[in-house]
């Protein structure tokens, strides 16, 4: 069972957090699927990732642009198409039932300034807890990312 890490964004934006987390995952040799809920927003993020960080490059591609299976980081709306070992969820995207179990890591990034996003993340936490997932809640309230809460994986029956 993978770990599902909830990242409560209050200081950093999605592009910065994606760059940080995906950069580490790619450094470990993992492929990552980033799933969103809006094609226009994914295109915006694609452009941001081409421009940042200035001191490096995060290799990635957009679903539908071809060569999805070869992308180290694939941005899309659909199922994992690049043999990813990690899944990053933004803008309210959710894992398919049971999908997290076959992955090393799942990150749920949500906007702490948007009460609807906070409520959706709480609902997803409850759903995944019911599936027995290992859950962690991360906050950057102190100025740097720190784990605030952890719920170990539990057998469901």
Structural domains present in the chain: 3-151 (3.40.50.10110)
Omega before 103 cis (within 30°)? no
Q: Which residues pair with 100 in a beta bridge?
A: none
pLDDT tens, the chain, 157 aa long? 579 999 999 999 999 999 999 999 999 999 999 999 999 999 999 999 888 766 667 899 999 988 899 999 999 999 998 999 999 999 999 999 888 888 999 999 999 999 999 999 999 999 999 888 999 999 998 889 999 999 999 877 6
Q: Whole-structure pTM over 0.85, yes or no?
A: yes
- Cα atoms found within 13 Å of the Cα of residue 114, Cβ hemisphere only: 13
How far is Cα 33 from Cα 73, in angstroms, rounded to an integer? Answer: 6
């Amino acid at each position: 069972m993978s770990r599902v890490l909830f990242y409560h964004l209050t200081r950093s934006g999605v592009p910065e957090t994606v760059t940080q987390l995906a950069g580490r995952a790619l450094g470990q040799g993992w492929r990552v699927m980033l799933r969103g809920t809006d094609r226009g927003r994914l295109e915006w993020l694609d452009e941001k990732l081409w421009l940042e960080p200035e001191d490096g490059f995060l290799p990635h591609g957009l679903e539908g642009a071809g060569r999805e299976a070869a992308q180290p980081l694939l941005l899309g709306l659909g199922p994992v198409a690049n043999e990813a070992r990690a899944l990053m969820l933004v803008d309210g995207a959710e894992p398919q039932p049971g999908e997290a179990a076959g992955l090393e890591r799942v990150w749920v990034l949500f906007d702490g300034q948007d009460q609807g996003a906070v409520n959706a993340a709480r609902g997803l936490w409850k759903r995944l807890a019911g599936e027995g997932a290992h859950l962690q809640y991360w906050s950057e309230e102190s100025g740097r990312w720190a784990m605030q809460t952890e719920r170990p994986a539990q057998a469901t029956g």
